[in-house]
Amino acid sequence: MHTECYPISILPRLSRLFLDFAESRQPLTPFYPAAPYGQRWTPPAQDPVLRARVADLLEEQNRAFGAGPATLANIDRLRQGSSAIVTGQQVTLFGGPLFTLFKAATAIRKARDTGAVPIFWLATEDHDLDEADHVALPSRHELHTLRLAHQANNRPVGAIPLGSGIRSLLDQAAELLGPGPILDLLEAAYTPEATFAQAFARLLATVFAEEGLILIDAADRAFHALGAPVLRHAIEYAADLESALLDRSRLLEERGYEAQVLVTPSSSLLFLVDDETGARLALKRKNADGWIAGKKSYSAADLLAILDSAPERLSPHALLRPVFQDFLLPTAAYIGGPAEISYFAQSQVLYETILGRTTPVIPRLSATLVEPAVAAVLAQHELSIEDLSRSRPDELAQRLGARAIPIEGKRKLATAGNALDEELTSLMQWMHQLDPSLGRAADISASKMRYQMNRLRRLAANYQLQTEASLRRHVDAIYLNLFPDQHPQERIIGAAAFLARYGDSLIPLLIDQASQECPGHKAIFL
């Protein structure tokens, strides 16, 4: 096994804010209080009573998830005063994309390096079912999207039962993954009566049992009651928090960045679960004391009464969620993906206002896993991960076709092209000297001639592609495995595919690679 290190900027569709943060060795103040790859964090103080109660709830939950001795030992360390390295994500089908493993591996590695405990926050209160109900698993020539049929109803995803349709998806997964331990784990975790949260948690608890990963589902009444001070602050000081967020958005724009989350004068930092339908509805402010969720109106007093009697009905918005999380947990650092870290530039003002401190954020391991057969194709054509990220499949196929043209053909094309350029350059200079307008017309004609010369090159490359059909197959195979649909592998291909192929050896390897001596994107050749 070996690795290659690339700048994180080779990945597409990353915000400038994230790139500036991730590629700097210094804190990007005031948005981020710490440098992205530091490890000297001051553990936050936490009320001993709160710490003990959180540890009790974590022990209860993790036993239900099937946690092993290492996880229970880490919960006891947390109870005794240890700080935490935290990560998290939505509870997705069959463990979700590959970056699920990368997040957990990074949290485990950073916790190991700093003497903390690793915690994975299950984002069970998110209500975007379209992001959680599917997983993509590859076959030899195709990427298959397995999707669990459900009717969207804006309910928190974590509480939705999987239902009988999960059996059909498990059958499809069995055909794609083949028999083995990971399929057994999926079948044990993803049962019809299980919820999205329970199934996802059982899977992760088993996969990371030896590493002692602690899981937390903070959606229930007990955790919301403990975190009520944060939710109360969001109600009682809504206008002040809104003002601070609007100021932060303006500052981001002044620095040339875009705010990840749009904040408006009617925005709120809270959702309310409707007591009749169970739908999770955005709370919007109408005025100083008036709020609306769906078609119902509430006063601040109404919301505070709900917080006292049924705290689980109020849940934090994306910008408030990390503050709610780090009120409950003694978080020394949070491991995030690009979007989460971009959110944090706005959440930072909420941290300072509500908690009086700001949690450092650290980019998760970003990597492409290159299997031996794919590595052999890359080597054969002298290609890198950066070549794939910078080109479309058709463009890359053209390049390989051009490389494969026999040497005699390359010489003829080069000779013709060079001669054309030389003669056209001399001719254009003369025509410009005769008359500027004549020169401009000649430039247009010359451009067309050069276009036709390039077309001859493309025709020759396309012929070579047709003659050597394996070239196109190689390009398609490379993109399918490494950049499916021109998206990074880590964001598309399901983690279960690699767990099925590499079993118990994969997790220790990822934890080792999460040391992040490469402050960018890794190609890990398996």
Q: What is the pLDDT of residues 79-113, one digit of tens each?
A: 999 999 999 999 999 999 999 999 999 999 999 99
Residues 361 and 381 in one domain: no
In 3D space, the residue among 209, 200, 141, 138 whose CA is nearest the CA of residue 166 turns out to be 200
Residues 380 and 339 in one domain: no
Is the backbone peptide bond immediately before 322 cis, with ω within 30 degrees of 0?
Answer: no
Residues 211 and 67 in one domain: yes
Report yes or no on 469 lying in a domain.
yes
pLDDT in tens, 294-345: 899 999 999 999 999 999 999 999 999 999 999 999 999 999 999 999 999 9
* pLDDT score recorded for residue 296: 93
* pLDDT score recorded for residue 400: 85
Judge whether 380 and 477 are in contact, CB under 8 Å. no
What range does the domain containing 398 cover?
A: 370-484
pLDDT in tens, 147-204: 998 776 789 999 999 999 999 999 999 999 999 999 999 999 999 999 999 999 999 9
Question: How confident is residue 205, by pLDDT bands cut at 50, 70 and 90?
Answer: very high
Give percent of the chain above pLDDT 70: 100
In 3D space, the residue among 138, 141, 139, 198 whose CA is nearest the CA of residue 166 turns out to be 198
Could you give the CA distance from residue 359 to residue 338 in angstroms, rounded to a whole number?
Answer: 16
Residues 13 and 60 in one domain: yes
Residues 471 and 324 in one domain: no
- Judged by average pLDDT, the poorest of 53-62, 70-79, 452-461 is 452-461
Report yes or no on 445 lying in a domain.
yes
Residues 354 and 405 in one domain: no
Question: How confident is residue 502, by pLDDT bands cut at 50, 70 and 90?
Answer: very high
Arithmetic mean of pLDDT, 344-366: 96
Residues 398 and 520 in one domain: no
User: Token match 């919820």: residue?
Assistant: 195
Arithmetic mean of pLDDT, 14-42: 91
pLDDT(54) > 80 = yes
* pLDDT score recorded for residue 345: 96
Report yes or no on 257 lying in a domain.
no
Judge whether 427 and 483 are in contact, CB under 8 Å. no
Residues 95 and 215 in one domain: yes
The pair of three-digit structure tokens given for residue 200, joined into one six-digit string: 């996802």
Residues 348 and 431 in one domain: no
Query: Mean pLDDT score of the chain, rounded to an integer?
Result: 93
Residues 331 and 409 in one domain: no
Locate all alpha helices (DSSP H) within 23-114, ordered by sequence. 48-65, 69-79, 99-114
pLDDT in tens, 387-434: 999 999 988 888 888 887 788 888 888 888 899 999 899 999 999 999
CATH code where residue 336 lies: 3.40.50
Report yes or no on 101 lying in a domain.
yes
Report yes or no on 262 lying in a domain.
no
Residues 385 and 473 in one domain: yes
In 3D space, the residue among 367, 343, 352 whose CA is nearest the CA of residue 88 turns out to be 343
Report yes or no on 175 lying in a domain.
no
Report yes or no on 92 lying in a domain.
yes
Report yes or no on 278 lying in a domain.
no
Amino acid letter at 77?
A: R
* pLDDT score recorded for residue 73: 98
Could you give the CA distance from residue 211 to residue 229 in angstroms, rounded to a whole number?
Answer: 32
Contacts of 303 (CB under 8 A, 6+ apart): 235, 270, 272, 283, 291, 314
pLDDT(246) > 70 = yes
Arithmetic mean of pLDDT, 9-26: 94
* pLDDT score recorded for residue 152: 66
Task: Identify which has the larger pLDDT, 461 or 258.
Answer: 258
Residues 21 and 94 in one domain: yes
Q: Provide the number of structural domains found in the chain.
A: 2
* pLDDT score recorded for residue 90: 95
- Element counts in the chain: helices (H) and strands (E): 22, 16
Arithmetic mean of pLDDT, 456-470: 77
Judge whether 316 and 230 are in contact, CB under 8 Å. yes
Using DSSP's 3-state secondary structure scheme, residue 24 falls into coil
